[in-house]
Structure formats: C-alpha cells, structure tokens
Amino acid sequence: MTASRPRKSYDGVVLAVPVAVPYERYSIESAHWWIGRALRTLADGAGISHREFDGFAVSSFTMGPDAAIALTQHFGLTPRWLDHLPMGGASGIVSIRRAARAVQAGDVNIVACVAADTNQVDTFRKTLASFSRFAQDASYPYGAGGPNASFALIARAYMDRYGATREDFGKLCVAQRDNALRYPHALMKKPLTLEQYMSARPIAEPFHLFDCVMPCAGAEAFLVMREETAVSLGLPFVRLLSAIERHNAFPDDAVQMRGGWVMDRDELYGMASLTPDDIDFVQTYDDYPVISMMQFEDLGFCGKGEGPDFVRQHTFTIDGSFPHNTSGGQLSVGQAGAAGGHLGIVEAMRQLLGSAGGTQVADVKVGLVSGFGMINYDRGLASAAAILARQSV
C-alpha cells in the first residue's frame, strides 16, 4: 500500500452563524419546511440573501423522495457546490470536512450545512421500515425492529466486558438533564434524578426509558466559509483545527466495542497540535449513554475499558470537571432525526462564540465534537470528530 501523504491543514476555514430551529415533539410540517426555516435563519444571521449561499449540504431522513438537488429549486438556490449526506449522526462533521476543502480550493464561498427532519405521528415507523436493507434481512424477520434492540446488544456486551453499570449510564443521563434545564429549546423540561432513571420502565434490557432518545422534529444548521469572507460580512466565527471520519471500522469485531475514532484520533489531535488534556468541553453523539462512554475511550480521554471509572471520577454538568453535552444532548433536547448529528456542532459553536447563554462554560478556548451513526443490525457504521477553537486562539 502506498504511504498516505500528510494532510493539509484547515487553516483559514471557519464556521459561523450557529442555528437551531426549536424542536417540536410532533409536527404536521414536512422536512422541507424545517430545512427552509433553517435556511432563512442562516440568511438572517449572516445578513445576506440565502441565494448568496453558493454551497449547500443537507442531511435528512424524511425529505424523500427528494434529494438535495430538488431542494435547490424549491428554495430558489443556485449553488455551484452541492452535497447530500445520508450518514445520520456523522453527517454534520462529514459536511464540515467536505465543505472546508471546497472553500479552501475556491470552488465555493459560503456553504450552508443544514440537517432537519419532521416527526409526524407515523414518521418513525416509516423511517424504520426503509432504513436499512441489511437490517430488514438480518433482524426484522426475528421481530427485532429499530435501534433499541441493536444498541441494547452493544450495551450488554460492553457492560459484561468492562464492568459498566446502569448507575454509570444514569450519571451521564442525569447530568445531561441538568444541563438541558438551562437550554431553552430542550424538550425535556423536568429534572431527572438517578432514582427516577433507575426505576423507569424497561425498553430493551439493559435500556430503560431514559437511556433512549425521544424522536421529534427540528433543524440545526451553520455556515462554512473562509476567514476573510466572515470578516467581510462582520461575522464572529470559530476556527476548524482538525476533523476525521471513518466508516465500517473494525468489521471483524463480533460486537461493536469501539468506533472509527480509534483509527484516526492521533491525526485528530496532531493536526490541531493538541492533546485530550487541552480540550475544554466535549459534545458526543448520544443516542444512548453507552455510546458516549465508548467515545470517551476512543477519543483518548481514558483507556479502552476505563470508561466506567472515568464516569465515576468526573462530573459532566456545565460547571463540572468534564463539561459534556452542555445543551443536554439528544437524550434531553430530543433527537430531530439527522439533525442530531449537527446538534453538538451548533452547541460547540455557541460555546466558543460566548453566546451559549445559560449553558455557557466559563473560559473555553477549544472544544471537541463527535458524530456516530447509521446502525444497521449490529453496529454503527459511521464515526467522525472535529476540534473547533474560538476566534482568538
């Protein structure tokens, strides 16, 4: 195999205008409506017409039968760069990577990265029915449908191997709910105690109610551009220091115990000239707390199998020793379909811009956000991560 060339840095690439369209438990509107809301808010935040976005990256599970190309006519866009990213929770970071290289090359000036989904009464059922041919063939015939059972298998194997307990997972869920109470758009508005977590009704053992995200409707979005473009528009921005993605990592593992972050994390920190100790906050993809624990390990904050002890030794609230999912994450804000992969990016941007309001962590300079997605029947296929820094770093 030919040795890979050193990667070019992301110098000069910035992110601006973090947008969250407030979530709703159910919506009669289409995904297109939510995408349109996000585009309008991006344009208002940038102080320009949405027609000046000459790049468009979109992720959605519920905008079918349309693809990104159809949305250009629907919204009056005329982009010279277009991407449709059906990678679920990894889509946001993947869109950043691709948009960053395009703006560096001069192929595009401003890329609108948008993720949105609706949630009508039967949306989740319809999405599940057509989500994965492999899941249809391998697990549906046995009466196992949806992510809960697949992730329960992963969680039970992880608990058996590394000694994690439901109390460990509950500590993360309770901390995220505490954070969410400070985030005005979180759908979960009531405090959560560990006792309530432990006594909640079972869903798919070892998962109980508060281990699982709540489907909802909503949108998240941001802009990718060159620094000089942001300066000319008078926009505050955050810097992209590094980013990685990996798909179908470790396919020979009998049960998923690790993600693709392990394969590329040295490059993630090396490009940024940082170590895990330099990170001020972390936004993990949290469809289930076991996946957040796996990311703590695979992103180098502790060794493999040390996730349970890491959780026991730290606090994860906004003012804790390891600020994590500061808006509440999907477990307490809600999972607006593919927008879940953009939720952590938007919150990380707010943190670094100093505009996070009640969820603001003090004196932050650098944050890490990670993505994970596209479970078929036994593992998530996509993993990604990015390190972002405030403008003055």
The chain-wide mean pLDDT, for the chain, equals: 94
71-120 per-position pLDDT tens digit: 999 999 999 999 999 899 999 999 999 999 999 999 999 999 999 999 98
Amino acid at 152: A
**Going residue by residue through the chain (393 aa), what tens digit of pLDDT does each one get?**
455 678 899 999 999 999 999 999 999 999 999 999 999 999 999 999 999 999 999 999 999 899 999 999 999 999 999 999 989 999 999 999 999 999 999 999 999 999 999 998 666 666 665 666 666 676 666 666 678 888 999 999 999 999 999 999 999 999 999 999 999 999 999 999 999 999 999 999 999 999 999 999 999 999 999 999 999 999 999 999 999 999 999 999 999 999 999 999 999 999 999 999 999 999 999 999 999 999 999 999 999 999 999 999 999 999 999 999 999 999 999 999 999 999 999 999 999 999 999 999 999 999 999 999 988 777 889 999 999 999 985
Taking the C-alpha atoms of 200, 325, 328 and 19 in order, what is their torsion angle to the nearest 10 degrees? -150
Tell me the C-alpha distance between 181 and 188, whole Å. 8
* 41 within 8 A of 14, measured Cβ to Cβ: no
- Match 């590094």 to its residue by tokens: 242
Helices marked H in the chain — which ranges? 31-46, 68-75, 91-105, 123-129, 133-138, 147-162, 166-180, 194-199, 227-233, 261-272, 289-298, 307-313, 329-333, 340-353
User: Phi first, then psi: what are they for 305, rounded to 5°?
Assistant: 85, -5
In 3D space, the residue among 178, 161, 196, 172 whose CA is nearest the CA of residue 292 turns out to be 172
pLDDT tens string 45-55: 999 999 999 99
In 3D space, the residue among 60, 151, 126 whose CA is nearest the CA of residue 380 turns out to be 151
Cα separation of 259 and 250, whole Å?
Answer: 8
Predicted structure pTM score: 0.95
